[in-house]
C-alpha cells in the first residue's frame, strides 16, 4: 500500500474486542499511521465488560477463552499468560423437572424420559434418517436440519422449544445457517460415539470439556488491549456517537460524531475506516440514509438482532451449584440459561454470597421491551426458583442489564439481504466491516478477535485491503464453528 507524505489517519468505529484488536495490531505492524477509536459507551470493551453488584463481579455473558484456531490459542497464551485460569467445564440442563448433565448421556435421557419416550425418540430418529435417504427433509431451514439429525420427537422435546424461546421464531422460520454454525453436537450417533471415544482432537470438539478464563473477569482482556492501543500512541474517544460518514465518490473522507462529554459536534478526516458497528445500522443510518426506497435500504431494515436481557441476582449462599452454564431447553422456565461467576473464577465471589446471572432474549431493544426492571427481575427470579436451584427469599438484590444488539437473527432469507449489503460494501474502497455485529455473523470471542487481527493485516499487507477482505478473509470466517 502506498502512503501519503503524512501518516494516514485510520478511524476504528467501536472499542469492543474486534475494534481494540484491529487498532492495536495496526499500531504494532510498523507501518506509519495514526489510529483513533470512537466508542459510544463510557468505557471500552463492548460485550466483553463486567458488572459489579454489591462487591460481586460478573461478565455480561458467560465468556470463556477457547479456540479451535491454533493462531488464537497462541495469541491468548502470549497476551494473558499468568492471568489465565484453566477451568474444567461443568454444565447441566433442566429437563423433565430435573437437572441433567449437558450434553446428556443416553442413560440420563432414559432416566428422565422413560423407556417409552426414548423408544419414541429412537423411532423418530430412524424415520428421519429413512426420509432423508429417500430425498425428503431437504435441509432448507433450522427445523429440517435438526430433524434430519435427531428426529422430530426429540426435536419437539428439547430443541424446538429452546429455539422458540431464544430466537422468538418458529424453527421453520430460522435459517439452516443457524444449525450449521451452532449445532456442533452432531446427531444421536455422534453423541454415542463421544461416550465411547471421549477424546476429541483440537478443532473437532463438539462440547468443551476444558477452557481458559481471565482472572478477574473478561473485562481484564479489554483493559489489556486498551492499554496496548494507548501505549503505542493510539487514541480512544469514549462517549462518541457517530452521526455520519461523509463520502467523496467511493471513499469515506470524514467521520462526523457527537462528543457527549463536551456536547460538541466533531469531525475527523480519515484515510481508512474499520467499523465494528452493527452492519444494518452502519448501512441504514450512516451510509445510505438518503436512499430509503432502495433495495439496499430495505435489506438494511430487514436484518435484525436479538437483544439480551440479563438479570444479576445476589444470593445469600456461598455457591448455588458447581456449574458454569445451566441451560433451560424446555418452554418453562422462561430463561435461556444461567451462569454463576464464582465458578469461572472463585475470586469473583465471597463467603456467604454469590452472584448469578439469568439470561433471556428479546426481538426488540431491551429498554423498549421491559421498561420496568423490577418486574423483569422478579419474573426471572421466580422462574429460576421454580427449578429448585434457590429460594426467592435468598435473593438480596437484583440488577438488570441489557445488550440491544447481542445476536444476529438468522431468519429465512437473511443471506439474500446480507449479500445486498456486502455488494455495496465492496464498492467502498476504504472501509472494512468486522466483528460479530459488523459481519452479521454469530461467532465466539476468539473469532471476533481473529477478525480484528486479519483486518489489520489486510490493510498492512494488501494493495487493495477491501477486496482482499471479501475475497480471502470472509470465506474463511464462514467456516467458524460454535462449540458449546
List the pLDDT tens digit at each of the 484 positions of the chain. Answer: 444 568 999 999 999 999 999 999 999 988 899 999 999 999 999 999 999 999 999 999 888 898 889 999 999 999 999 999 999 999 999 999 999 998 788 788 888 999 999 899 889 989 999 898 888 888 899 999 989 888 999 899 988 999 999 999 999 999 998 876 654 434 444 443 443 334 444 444 455 788 999 999 999 999 999 999 999 999 999 999 999 999 888 899 999 999 999 999 999 999 999 999 999 999 887 776 555 557 888 899 899 999 999 999 999 999 999 999 999 999 999 999 999 999 999 999 899 999 999 999 998 654 444 446 778 899 999 999 999 999 999 999 999 999 989 999 999 999 999 999 999 999 999 999 999 999 999 888 999 999 999 999 999 999 999 999 999 999 988 888 776 6
User: What CATH code is carried by the domain that includes residue 278?
Assistant: 3.50.50.60
The answer to whether residues 321 and 183 belong to one domain is no
**What is the residue range of 96's domain?**
64-102+207-216+305-408
258 occurs within a structural domain: yes
DSSP string for residues in 302-323 = H--EEEEEEEEEEESSS-S-S-
Contact 198, 105 (CB under 8 A): no
Total domain count for the chain? 3
Q: Tell me, what's the pLDDT at 231?
A: 97
52 occurs within a structural domain: no
1 occurs within a structural domain: no
The answer to whether residues 164 and 295 belong to one domain is no
Count of beta carbons in the 10 Å neighbourhood of residue 23: 31
Task: Show the beta-strand stretches assigned E in 173-287.
Answer: 210-214, 235-237, 240-248, 251-259, 264-269, 272-275
The answer to whether residues 212 and 171 belong to one domain is no
The answer to whether residues 211 and 322 belong to one domain is yes
The answer to whether residues 316 and 394 belong to one domain is yes
Q: Are strands 354-362 and 210-214 parallel, antiparallel or unpaired?
A: unpaired
Q: For residue 361, give the nearest of 90, 97, 162, 103 by alpha carbon.
A: 162
The answer to whether residues 233 and 259 belong to one domain is yes
55 occurs within a structural domain: no
Contact 328, 389 (CB under 8 A): no
User: What CATH code is carried by the domain that includes residue 182?
Assistant: 1.10.3110
Task: Give Dmax (Cα) for the chain.
Answer: 77
Question: What are the cell numbers at 236?
Answer: 480512544
The answer to whether residues 309 and 387 belong to one domain is yes
Question: Considering 381, 408, 435, which residue would you say is the last residue of a domain?
Answer: 408
143 occurs within a structural domain: yes
Q: For residue 337, give the nearest of 346, 345, 327, 351 by alpha carbon.
A: 327
Q: Which residues contact 43 (CB under 8 A, 6 or more apart)?
A: 49, 238
Question: Considering 380, 408, 436, which residue would you say is the last residue of a domain?
Answer: 408
The answer to whether residues 419 and 292 belong to one domain is yes
Q: Helices 160-167 and 142-150: crossing angle, nearest 10°? A: 150
The answer to whether residues 223 and 294 belong to one domain is yes
The answer to whether residues 155 and 284 belong to one domain is no
Q: For residue 213, give the nearest of 28, 63, 59, 41 by alpha carbon.
A: 63
On the question of a cis peptide bond just before residue 333, with omega within 30 degrees of 0, the verdict is yes
Q: Tell me, what's the pLDDT at 238?
A: 97
Sign for the CA dihedral angle at 217, 221, 223, 224 comes to positive
Count of beta carbons in the 10 Å neighbourhood of residue 331: 11
The answer to whether residues 233 and 296 belong to one domain is yes
483 occurs within a structural domain: no
Q: Tell me, what's the pLDDT at 158?
A: 86
Sign for the CA dihedral angle at 143, 145, 146, 150 comes to positive
Question: Considering 174, 200, 226, which residue would you say is the last residue of a domain?
Answer: 200
The answer to whether residues 86 and 109 belong to one domain is no
188 occurs within a structural domain: yes
484 occurs within a structural domain: no
User: What CATH code is carried by the domain that includes residue 88?
Assistant: 3.90.660.20
Residue 234 dihedral angles phi and psi, to the nearest 5°: -75, 160
Q: Which residues contact 79 (CB under 8 A, 6 or more apart)?
A: 221, 224
Distance (Å, whole) CA 341 – CA 450: 25
Contact 100, 93 (CB under 8 A): yes
Distance (Å, whole) CA 434 – CA 443: 11
Amino acid at each position: 500500500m502506498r502512503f501519503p507524505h503524512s501518516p494516514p489517519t485510520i478511524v476504528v468505529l467501536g472499542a469492543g474486542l474486534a475494534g481494540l484488536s484491529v487498532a492495536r495490531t495496526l499500531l504494532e505492524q510498523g507501518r506509519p499511521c495514526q489510529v483513533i477509536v470512537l466508542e459510544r459507551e463510557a468505557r471500552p470493551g463492548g460485550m466483553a465488560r463486567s458488572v459489579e453488584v454489591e462487591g460481586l463481579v460478573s461478565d455480561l455473558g458467560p465468556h470463556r477463552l477457547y479456540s479451535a484456531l491454533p493462531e488464537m490459542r497462541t495469541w491468548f497464551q502470549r497476551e494473558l499468560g499468568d492471568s489465565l485460569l484453566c477451568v474444567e467445564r461443568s454444565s447441566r440442563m433442566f429437563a423433565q423437572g430435573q437437572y441433567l448433565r449437558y450434553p446428556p448421556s443416553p442413560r440420563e435421557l432414559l432416566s428422565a424420559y422413560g423407556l417409552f419416550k426414548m423408544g419414541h425418540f429412537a423411532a423418530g430418529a430412524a424415520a428421519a434418517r429413512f426420509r432423508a435417504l429417500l430425498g425428503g427433509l431437504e435441509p432448507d431451514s433450522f427445523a429440517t436440519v435438526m430433524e434430519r439429525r435427531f428426529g422430530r420427537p426429540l426435536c419437539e422435546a428439547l430443541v424446538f422449544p429452546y429455539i422458540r424461546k431464544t430466537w422468538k421464531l418458529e424453527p421453520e422460520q430460522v435459517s439452516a445457517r443457524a444449525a450449521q454454525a451452532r449445532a456442533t453436537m452432531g446427531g444421536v450417533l455422534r453423541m454415542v460415539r463421544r461416550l465411547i471415544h471421549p477424546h476429541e482432537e483440537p478443532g473437532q470438539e463438539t462440547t468443551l470439556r476444558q477452557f481458559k478464563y481471565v482472572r478477574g473477569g473478561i473485562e481484564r482482556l479489554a483493559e489489556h488491549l486498551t492499554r496496548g492501543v494507548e501505549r503505542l500512541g493510539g487514541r480512544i474517544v469514549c462517549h462518541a456517537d457517530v452521526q455520519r460518514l461523509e463520502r467523496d465518490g467511493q471513499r469515506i473522507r470524514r467521520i462526523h460524531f457527537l462528543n457527549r462529554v463536551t456536547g460538541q459536534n466533531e469531525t475527523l478526516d480519515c484515510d481508512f475506516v474499520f467499523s465494528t458497528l452493527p452492519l444494518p445500522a452502519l448501512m441504514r443510518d450512516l451510509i445510505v440514509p438518503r436512499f430509503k426506497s432502495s433495495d439496499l435500504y430495505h435489506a438494511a431494515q430487514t436484518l435484525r438482532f436479538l437483544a439480551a436481557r440479563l438479570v444479576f441476582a445476589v444470593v445469600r449462599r456461598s455457591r448455588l451449584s458447581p456449574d458454569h452454564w445451566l441451560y433451560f431447553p424446555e418452554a418453562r422456565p422462561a430463561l435461556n440459561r444461567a451462569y454463576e461467576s464464582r465458578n469461572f473464577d472463585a475470586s469473583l465471589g465471597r463467603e456467604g454470597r454469590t452472584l448469578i446471572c439469568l439470561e433471556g432474549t428479546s426481538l426488540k431493544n431491551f429498554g423498549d421491551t421491559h421498561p420496568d426492571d423490577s418486574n423483569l427481575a422478579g419474573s426471572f427470579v421466580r422462574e429460576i426458583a421454580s427449578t429448585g436451584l434457590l429460594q426467592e427469599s435468598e435473593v438480596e438484590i437484583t440488577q438488570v442489564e441489557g445488550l440491544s444488539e447481542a445476536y444476529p437473527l438468522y431468519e429465512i432469507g437473511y443471506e439474500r439481504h446480507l449479500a445486498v449489503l456486502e455488494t455495496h460494501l465492496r464498492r467502498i474502497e476504504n472501509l472494512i466491516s468486522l466483528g460479530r455485529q459488523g459481519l452479521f455473523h454469530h461467532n465466539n470471542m476468539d473469532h471476533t478477535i481473529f477478525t480484528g487481527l486479519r483486518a489489520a493485516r489486510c490493510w498492512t499487507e494488501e494493495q487493495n485491503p477491501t477486496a482482499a477482505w471479501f475475497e480471502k478473509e470472509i470465506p474463511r470466517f464462514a467456516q467458524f464453528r460454535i462449540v458449546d
